Amino acid sequence: MKKVIRKPRRKISVPKTCYFCDKALEPSFWETGALQKFLTERGKIIPSSRNGLCLKHQRKITVNIKYSRHLSLMA
């Protein structure tokens, strides 16, 4: 039986501070460009462990992305 050789995993650089806390902004469902930063190319929401958002803003981002999808502002 042939031994499976796995590729080493790449480390993902995670920002240390929250994007919205740094700039004193609040996420809005109208700002689809800002919301796109927190989506994968398939449209899935990136978890806070990978995008560096604080818990408060991660929840707001999730709600705003879902609302923006509901209004058909985002695919």
Angstrom distance (rounded) from CA 69 to CA 12: 27
- What is residue 9's predicted lDDT score, i.e. its pLDDT? 82
Query: Amino acid letter at 36?
Result: Q
As a whole number, mean pLDDT of residues 53-73 equals 94
Q: Where are the domains of the chain?
A: 19-70
Q: Does residue 52 or residue 1 have the better pLDDT? A: 52
pLDDT digits (tens, 9 = 90+) for 15-60: 788 989 998 989 999 999 999 999 999 999 999 988 899 999 999 9
The architecture (CATH level 2) of 19-70 comes to Irregular (4.10)
**Confidence (pLDDT) at 2:** 81
pLDDT at 75 over 80: no
